[in-house]
C-alpha cells in the first residue's frame, strides 16, 4: 500500500504521520523533546534528541498504521523555522545546542545593526529581530571564537532544522534548505531568491556556511546511513511548518489566509507572485516553491499564544490542563476590563518589542481565576486580530474567511470569540496535523502520488465552521480595551 510519511518537527516535539491517497491519517506518533533554558530569555534544544526522535517517530507511525518502509512512496518534512544550528561537516554532530526561534539572546547584536535595518527590510522582507536565524548564528560565532575559526576554515555547516534533518537523514550527502526556510533567515534576497552577500557580511557570517537553496519539492534527496530508516527512501519535500500548514490548508490563491495555533502562532496570507513589503509591522516571505512556481506571502508571527495556556498550567498552576481553559473562560459573562498582554517572550508582529514583559491590566479586588484565564484566552484572539488588520491594510483586501489549525482550534470559547472579533468566518481544519499534511501534499505532488493542487483542495479535512456572532459594537469595545492595555505596557 503506497503512503506518504510526513514529519512535523516542531518546538515541543516531533510528530510523524502516515497519509493515504485520500489524505486520511493511517498512523501517527509524537515524541516530545526537552526544552532547555540556560538563562532567562534563552531557549535551546538538543539536536541529537531531535534526530533520534525523528527516526523513532517515523518508525512508530508506520507501525501504528500496520505498514513498513516498503509502503512509503516519499517522506515530507516540515520544521520549526528560525531555530538555527551549526554542525561539523565531517561528523554531522552539532557543535552547540540548537538556538530556538523564541530565544532572544541576540537582541543586542540586532540593535547594533540599527543603521542597516532599512536595507535588511528592503532586501529580505523581514523585520531585523533576534527572532530570526541569522542573529542567532552570529551570536554563536561571536560568543565562541573557536567556532568562528572553524567556520572560516570551512569545517562547519549552518542551517535551520530542515537543513540539519536533511543532512543527517541523507548521511551528509545533502546540505540544502528550501525557499521557505531560507526566507526566514534575514539572509535571503527575497526577489532574487539568492543568498545576499551584504547581509552575510553585516552579521559576520561566512557565506560558505550556508546551504544550497532549493524549491520546496526539489531536494532530490534519499535516505542514507540512518539507524532506523533503510536507504533509498525519497525525501521529496521540505517546508517551514507554517508554510506547510498554508499548503495543507489549500490557501493557494492570493488573499487566502490561515492561522496556525501552537506555542506561538503564525498568521499568513497568500500574496501570489507578488512580494508585498509591509508598512504595518509584518514580514514578507516565500509561501512555497512547488511545481516550478514561487508563491509569496505576508506573515505575522506571534511569540506566545498557546504558550499562555501552558504557562497557566505549568507555572501559575491556575489550570490543570490546557483543555480546561475554554471551559473556565466561558464560566463568566465578560472580562470585566481585565486584559493580559502576554509578552512572555517579548512581542513580535506587528509590534516588535523584544524586551516587553507580560502584564495583567485592569485587575481589581473582584478579579478571579476565571478572569485571568479569560484574559489569556482573549489575548490569543486580540493578537491574531492585530496581525490580520495589518494584512488588510497592506493588501487592501478585506478578509472574509480565516482557516485555522492546531490544538487550540478545538477551543469552543476561543474560536467563536475570534470569529466575532474579526467579523468573519473561522474555518477550523478537521485535523490538527496541518503542517504534516502540507508536507505530505507537497511530497506527494513531487512523486506523482497526487495529480495537482486542485485534487488536494478536495482532500483537505473539514472541521468546525464558526460564524461571527458577536455584536460589532461589543467587538469594537473589547478590541479598544486591548489596545489601551497594550499602550500601558509598551507605550503609544
**What is the distance of C-alpha 475 from the center of its chain?**
28
Could you give the C-alpha distances from 325 to 116, 308, 328, 464, 469, in angstroms and in order?
43, 10, 5, 19, 21
Beta bridge partners of 401: 425
Average pLDDT of the residues of the chain: 95
102 has pLDDT over 90: no
Pairing of the two strands 265-272 and 257-261: antiparallel
The answer to whether 157 and 89 have CB atoms below 8 angstroms apart is yes
The answer to whether 45 and 100 have CB atoms below 8 angstroms apart is yes
Cα atoms in the Cβ-side hemisphere of radius 13 Å centred on 139: 27
DSSP 8-state code for residue 161 = H
Integer Cα distance of 274 and 298 in angstroms = 10
pLDDT tens-digit readout, 61-73: 999 999 999 999 9
The arithmetic mean of pLDDT across residues 223-240, rounded, is 95
- For the record, the C-alpha cell of 69 comes out as 518502509
Q: Which of 374, 278, 300 is nearest to 332 (CA)?
A: 374
pLDDT tens-digit readout, 300-320: 989 899 999 999 999 999 999
Integer Cα distance of 230 and 491 in angstroms = 56
Integer Cα distance of 349 and 266 in angstroms = 10
**What is the distance of C-alpha 83 from the center of its chain?**
10
365 has pLDDT over 90: yes
The DSSP string of 147-169 is HHHHHHTT-EEEEEHHHHHHHHH
Give all strands of the β-sheet with 84-88 in edge-to-edge order: 44-45, 98-99, 84-88, 156-160
**What is the distance of C-alpha 234 from the center of its chain?**
24
φ, ψ of residue 248 in degrees (nearest 5): -65, -30
Domain ranges of the chain: 3-241
Integer Cα distance of 20 and 73 in angstroms = 10
1 has pLDDT over 80: no
φ, ψ of residue 280 in degrees (nearest 5): -135, 35
Predicted TM-score (pTM) of the model is 0.89
The arithmetic mean of pLDDT across residues 447-476, rounded, is 94
223 has pLDDT over 80: yes
Q: Which of 476, 304, 281 is nearest to 390 (CA)?
A: 281
Q: Which of 64, 47, 21 is nearest to 169 (CA)?
A: 47
**Strand, helix or coil at 448?**
coil
Only one residue has cell 543532512, namely 167
- For the record, the C-alpha cell of 197 comes out as 552577500
Share of the chain above pLDDT 70, in %: 100
Residue 41 binned pLDDT confidence (cut-offs 50, 70, 90): confident
- pLDDT at residue number 131: 86
- pLDDT at residue number 352: 85
Residue 407 binned pLDDT confidence (cut-offs 50, 70, 90): confident
Cα atoms in the Cβ-side hemisphere of radius 13 Å centred on 82: 26
The arithmetic mean of pLDDT across residues 208-225, rounded, is 95
Residue 306: left (phi > 0), alpha (psi -120 to 50), or beta?
alpha
- For the record, the C-alpha cell of 282 comes out as 509584518
pLDDT tens-digit readout, 254-304: 999 999 898 889 899 999 998 998 999 999 999 999 999 999 999 998 989
- pLDDT at residue number 355: 85
Q: Which of 204, 203, 207 is nearest to 195 (CA)?
A: 207
Only one residue has cell 519539492, namely 217
Integer Cα distance of 127 and 140 in angstroms = 21
pLDDT tens-digit readout, 152-192: 999 999 999 999 999 999 999 999 999 999 999 999 999 99
Q: Which CATH code is given to the segment(s) 3-241? A: 3.30.420.40
DSSP 8-state code for residue 347 = B
pLDDT tens-digit readout, 111-150: 999 999 999 999 999 989 898 999 999 999 999 999 999 9
Amino acid at each position: 500500500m503506497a503512503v506518504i510519511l510526513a514529519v512535523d518537527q516542531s518546538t515541543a516535539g516531533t510528530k510523524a504521520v502516515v497519509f493515504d491517497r485520500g489524505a486520511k491519517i493511517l498512523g501517527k506518533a509524537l515524541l516530545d523533546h526537552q526544552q532547555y533554558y540556560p538563562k532567562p530569555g534563552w531557549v535551546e534544544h538538543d539536536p541529537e534528541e531531535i534526530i533520534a526522535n525523528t527516526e523513532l517517530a517515523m518508525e512508530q507511525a508506520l507501525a501504528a498504521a500496520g505498514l513498513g518502509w516498503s509502503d512509503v512512496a516519499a517522506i515530507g518534512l516540515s520544521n520549526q523555522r528560525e531555530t538555527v544550528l551549526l554542525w561539523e561537516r565531517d561528523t554531522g554532530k552539532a557543535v552547540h545546542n540548537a538556538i530556538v526561534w523564541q530565544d532572544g539572546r541576540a537582541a543586542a547584536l540586532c540593535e547594533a545593526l540599527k543603521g542597516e535595518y532599512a536595507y535588511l527590510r528592503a532586501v529580505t522582507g523581514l523585520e531585523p529581530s533576534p527572532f530570526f536565524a541569522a542573529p542567532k548564528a552570529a551570536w554563536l560565532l561571536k560568543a565562541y571564537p573557536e567556532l568562528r575559526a572553524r567556520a572560516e576554515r570551512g569545517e562547519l555547516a549552518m542551517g535551520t532544522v530542515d537543513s540539519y534533518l536533511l543532512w543527517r537523514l541523507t548521511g551528509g550527502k545533502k546540505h540544502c534548505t528550501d525557499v521557505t526556510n531560507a526566507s526566514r533567515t534575514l539572509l535571503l534576497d527575497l526577489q532574487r531568491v539568492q543568498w545576499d552577500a551584504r547581509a552575510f557580511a553585516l552579521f559576520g557570517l561566512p557565506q560558505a556556511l550556508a546551504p544550497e537553496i532549493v524549491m520546496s519539492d526539489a531536494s532530490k534527496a534519499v535516505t542514507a546511513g540512518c539507524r532506523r530508516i533503510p536507504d533509498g527512501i525519497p525525501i521529496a519535500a521540505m517546508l517551514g511548518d507554517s508554510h506547510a500548514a498554508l499548503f495543507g490548508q489549500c490557501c493557494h490563491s492570493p488573499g487566502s489566509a490561515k492561522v496556525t495555533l501552537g506555542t506561538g502562532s503564525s498568521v499568513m496570507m497568500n500574496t501570489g507572485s507578488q512580494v508585498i513589503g509591509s508598512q504595518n509591522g509584518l514580514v514578507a516571505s516565500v509561501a512555497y516553491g512547488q511545481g516550478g512556481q514561487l508563491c509569496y506571502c505576508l506573515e505575522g508571527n506571534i511569540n506566545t499564544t498557546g504558550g499562555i495556556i501552558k504557562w497557566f498550567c505549568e507555572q501559575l498552576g491556575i489550570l490543570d490542563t490546557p483543555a480546561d481553559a475554554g471551559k473556565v473562560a466561558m464560566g463568566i459573562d465578560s472580562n470585566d476590563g481585565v486584559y493580559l498582554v502576554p509578552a512572555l517572550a517579548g512581542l513580535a508582529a506587528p509590534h516588535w518589542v523584544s524586551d516587553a514583559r507580560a502584564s495583567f491590566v485592569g485587575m481589581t479586588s473582584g478579579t478571579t481565576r476565571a478572569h485571568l484565564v479569560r484574559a489569556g484566552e482573549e489575548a490569543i484572539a486580540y493578537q491574531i486580530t492585530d496581525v490580520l488588520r495589518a494584512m488588510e491594510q497592506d493588501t487592501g483586501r478585506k478578509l472574509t474567511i480565516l482557516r485555522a489549525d492546531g490544538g487550540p482550534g478545538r477551543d469552543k470559547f476561543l474560536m467563536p470569540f475570534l470569529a466575532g472579533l474579526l467579523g468573519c468566518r473561522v474555518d477550523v481544519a478537521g485535523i490538527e496535523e496541518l503542517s504534516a499534511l502540507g508536507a505530505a501534499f507537497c511530497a506527494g505532488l513531487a512523486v506523482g502520488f497526487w495529480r495537482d493542487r486542485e485534487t488536494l483542495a478536495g482532500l483537505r479535512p473539514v472541521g468546525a465552521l464558526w460564524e461571527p456572532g458577536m455584536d460589532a459594537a461589543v467587538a469594537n469595545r473589547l478590541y479598544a480595551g486591548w489596545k489601551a492595555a497594550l499602550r500601558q505596557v509598551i507605550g503609544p
